[in-house]
Amino acid sequence: MAAMEFKILKRDNSSSARVGEISTPHGSVMTPCFMPVGTSAAVKTMSPRELREVGAQIILANTYHLILRPGTEIIKKAGGLHKFMSWDGPILTDSGGYQVFSLAERRKVTEEGVHFQSHVDGSACFLGPEESIKAQEAFGADIITTLDECPPFPCEHEKVRESLETTLRWERRCKELHQEGESGLFGIVQGGVYRDLRERSVEALLETRFDGYAIGGLSVGEPTSQMYEIAEFTASLLPEDKPRYLMGVGTPIDIVECVWRGVDMFDCVLPTRNARNGKAFTPDGPINVRSAKFKEDFSPVQADCDCYGCRNFTRAYIRHLLNVDEILALRLLTTHNLRFYLQLMSRLRGAIAAGATEAFRAAFKEGYRRRESSP
Amino acid sequence: MAAMEFKILKRDNSSSARVGEISTPHGSVMTPCFMPVGTSAAVKTMSPRELREVGAQIILANTYHLILRPGTEIIKKAGGLHKFMSWDGPILTDSGGYQVFSLAERRKVTEEGVHFQSHVDGSACFLGPEESIKAQEAFGADIITTLDECPPFPCEHEKVRESLETTLRWERRCKELHQEGESGLFGIVQGGVYRDLRERSVEALLETRFDGYAIGGLSVGEPTSQMYEIAEFTASLLPEDKPRYLMGVGTPIDIVECVWRGVDMFDCVLPTRNARNGKAFTPDGPINVRSAKFKEDFSPVQADCDCYGCRNFTRAYIRHLLNVDEILALRLLTTHNLRFYLQLMSRLRGAIAAGATEAFRAAFKEGYRRRESSP
């Protein structure tokens, strides 16, 4: 029996949006969903119970970071990633491919996999499809992903094509090794901004058959309009009955736009990283809480937000904490930003279920851009 | 009517220890108590609800830090310090004296007060007895303290004597300005390591009459045995019916020793600062969680501790978080260390109430030093 299942609960009539439910060994996830990024077995600044409180259903962890520190063996000995980090909800792990190509040094790609130097201590490492799957299975993740090569942007058609063919061979090896009863396995669609390569990628992955499909290689520098276009095109090629995960995307508006285009799952470091830079998301657009204009602003970051930060603290207080380098500032802003993202997903699910996706999308974009266009 | 009251509930027969209760406008505090240090209107890494969870009854905030950032006006406009930082329990503020003499630059002490340069931006500042009291009253603290000069160690008798006389004149001015109905005012005993000067200080303060008495000028470099001796001597001079607060002390053993010598209140940055350096307090003595020996130690920091950290996470996990610079590590260790201190105070109160102070003291010291003497 498959460890992961997906069912669609409601389809939107006027768009490709849908509400669904993914069941995993550690519980269910309503989609569209956003996965907070727990890079090294922790969502930065947050405790697991705070993640629950802001409404996180599932989190993501990075295989690349975990195999370097603390190492697969320690997580295995701890009884798996859930137990190690004390998070009992679903976990999705990436394959390590993206970070190997963005963080690691002296990469050498061969048919077997990637030789590289750790960005932490320069030690020689190797990650192939088998190593990635074995690590993710040792972690005990609920949803795991295939090893892929992520070409840069821009990149010539021929190079993206060659890279894609390597990725497709790696993905088949991942599928062969994968133990079906333990986790769901997602294939990753590559092909850059080239429609024919995206078609080729989807066609090959469908032949291999996966439990879900990730759209990789976007949000790597291409214009936003092109990202939307390729995400929409790729989503349209994917089977209705499997979840679609757009990797590393994005801003609140990106998420609204891509849910509308048929995407079910998202992850992004924006809410957590921006918080650590003093930035908060609001329905009127992002604000920089460090700004002097909030010096005596005794209102919460977002008046109608139900997060712990907004219920108890003011912009003036958080601005002060940022000024004196207090960690509590980063915690309160991370809490708020994650709540903002997760609340957005919940409202999107509500809008889709109510058949009001298009109205929600228009109203959200109108509100969100008001600040940017105001004098 | 006085804003602050103190009553003794139980005296120990074999020592000077006692259990008491301080009532303040924001609730009661059982003594002996430990006050977590909330330097700049935040106890580092902690949220107010977490402070409640670890058992904090009262916190301390630093007037020097607050007048520099965010400034008295902003706290006043926010509706006071309690509202600004969202802590509804009692707050004690120091007078700013200690930090002016340890942090500020280019000090010039006159009869009026201290001219100094802010350590933050070099701006010219002035703090006199009236400025300190007005700031602390504007903050709305429950217990406030007199401005004192804190001489270094070692320091000649004549210099300490002169400094003490200035301090005593400042303290009388503080008392004259203090609004009795709003807060309790503590006088600070100075006099360095000189018994005659400690006597002179207590005599003068008793004449002025305060709601409680702080023992200042200790834990500034003198040997621990001398600190105990002067704390004991000073406590013995102070009236039975007022709380005694030993400023800036200390290690868990220091606290046990000084409760035994008749001290009721403590504050210290050790539990919070050591946490941020990866160190945890345990009944067997302190441990450094960064140590390689904890790499695969899947037990909690302290097996019988009921804090959120110990209930959910292992030494191996926290060590990993320290290695990858995750803020959650500092949070979990701060939570544990504060719980350790506050649990110690609770156990001390229980031991005193049960007439078992001496047995508790002996057993605690025996356990705490075991690690240090083990091979």
- The predicted complex's ipTM stands at 0.97
Cα(B346)–Cα(B351) distance, integer angstroms: 9
Q: Give the end-to-end CA distance of chain B in Å, rounded to a whole number.
A: 58
Cα(A7)–Cα(A241) distance, integer angstroms: 7
Query: Closest Cα partner for B147 from B110, B199, B187?
Result: B187
Task: Show residues of chain B in contact with A314, CB under 8 Å.
Answer: 78, 84
Q: 10 Å Cβ neighbour count for A10?
A: 13
In the numeric block, which tokens belong to residue A185? Answer: 């396995």
Task: Give residue A105's pLDDT.
Answer: 85
Q: A189 near A218, Cβ under 8 Å?
A: no
**CB-defined contacts A:B, below 8 A:** 104
Among 3.40.720.10, 3.20.20.105, 3.40.47.10, 3.40.640.10, what is the CATH number of A5-268?
A: 3.20.20.105
Task: Give residue B104's pLDDT.
Answer: 87
User: Nearest 5°: phi and psi at B351?
Assistant: -65, -40
Task: Give residue B86's pLDDT.
Answer: 98
Assign B369 a pLDDT band (cuts: 50, 70, 90): confident
Owner of token pair 């905030």: B61
Q: B259 near B375, Cβ under 8 Å?
A: no
Task: Show residues of chain A in contact with B85, CB under 8 Å.
Answer: 317
Owner of token pair 């035994």: B260
Cα(B170)–Cα(A40) distance, integer angstroms: 54
**Distance (Å) from the alpha carbon of A318 to chain B's nearest alpha carbon:** 9
In the numeric block, which tokens belong to residue B289? Answer: 């969680």
Minimal Cβ distance to B86: which of A44, A312, A327:
A312
**Distance (Å) from the alpha carbon of B71 to chain A's nearest alpha carbon:** 10
Assign B375 a pLDDT band (cuts: 50, 70, 90): very low
Assign B4 a pLDDT band (cuts: 50, 70, 90): very high
Q: What is the DSSP secondary structure assignment for residue B179, as one 8-state letter? A: -
Q: B166 near B234, Cβ under 8 Å?
A: no
List per-residue pLDDT tens for chain A, 375 residues long.
Answer: 689 999 999 999 999 999 999 999 999 999 999 999 999 999 999 999 999 999 999 999 999 999 999 999 999 999 999 999 999 999 999 999 999 999 988 999 999 999 999 999 999 999 999 999 999 999 999 999 999 999 999 999 999 999 999 999 999 999 999 999 999 999 999 999 999 999 999 999 999 999 999 999 999 999 999 999 999 999 999 999 999 999 999 999 999 999 999 999 999 999 999 999 999 999 999 999 999 999 999 999 999 999 999 999 999 999 999 999 999 999 999 999 999 999 999 999 999 999 999 999 999 999 998 655 444
Largest CA distance in chain B: 60
Cα(B285)–Cα(B373) distance, integer angstroms: 10
User: Nearest 5°: phi and psi at A238?
Assistant: -85, 155
In the numeric block, which tokens belong to residue A71? Answer: 């190492």
Q: Please count the residues of chain B.
A: 375
Cα(A33)–Cα(A259) distance, integer angstroms: 9
Q: Enumerate residues 6+ apart whose C-beta is below 8 A from B154.
A: B221, B222
User: In which region does residue A157 sit, left (phi positive, over 0), alpha (psi from -120 to 50) or beta (all else)?
Assistant: alpha
**Distance (Å) from the alpha carbon of A330 to chain B's nearest alpha carbon:** 9
Task: Give residue A104's pLDDT.
Answer: 87
Largest CA distance in chain A: 60
Cα(A140)–Cα(A224) distance, integer angstroms: 35
Interchain pair A327, B327: CB under 8 A:
yes
Q: B228 near B75, Cβ under 8 Å?
A: no
Minimal Cβ distance to B44: which of A78, A317, A327:
A327
Q: Which residues of B are catalytic?
A: 94, 267
All CATH 3.20.20.105 domain ranges of chain B, comma separated, are: 5-267
User: In which region does residue B219 sit, left (phi positive, over 0), alpha (psi from -120 to 50) or beta (all else)?
Assistant: left
Q: Enumerate residues 6+ apart whose C-beta is below 8 A from B147.
A: B95, B96, B97, B113, B127, B128, B129, B132, B133, B167, B170, B171, B174
**Distance (Å) from the alpha carbon of A64 to chain B's nearest alpha carbon:** 13
Has residue B374 got a pLDDT over 90?
A: no
Has residue B372 got a pLDDT over 70?
A: no
Give the CATH architecture of domain B5-267.
Alpha-Beta Barrel (3.20)
User: Nearest 5°: phi and psi at B185?
Assistant: -115, 125
Q: pTM of the predicted model, to two decimals? A: 0.98
Interchain pair A74, B326: CB under 8 A:
no
Query: Closest Cα partner for A240 from A3, A12, A2?
Result: A12
- Angle, vertex CA A229, rays to CA A263 and CA A274, nearest 5: 65
Cα(B339)–Cα(B34) distance, integer angstroms: 11
Task: Show residues of chain B in contact with A308, CB under 8 Å.
Answer: 47, 49
User: Nearest 5°: phi and psi at B34?
Assistant: -115, 135
Q: List the A33-35 sheet strands across, edge first.
A: A33-35, A265-267, A244-246, A212-215, A184-189, A143-145, A91-93, A59-61
Cα(A366)–Cα(A370) distance, integer angstroms: 6
User: Nearest 5°: phi and psi at A9?
Assistant: -100, -30
All CATH 3.20.20.105 domain ranges of chain A, comma separated, are: 5-268
Question: Coil, helix or strand for B277?
Answer: coil
Task: Give residue B11's pLDDT.
Answer: 97
Query: Pick the catalytic residue: A12, A94, A211, A264?
Result: A94
Interchain pair B69, A326: CB under 8 A:
no
Cβ-based interface (< 8 Å): residues of A facing B? 40-42, 44-49, 65, 69-70, 74, 77-79, 84-86, 295-296, 298, 308, 312-314, 316-317, 320-321, 323-324, 326-328, 330-332
Task: Give residue A367's pLDDT.
Answer: 94
Q: Could you report the per-residue pLDDT of B67-123, keeping only the tens digit for each?
A: 999 999 999 999 999 999 999 999 999 999 999 999 988 999 999 999 999 999 999
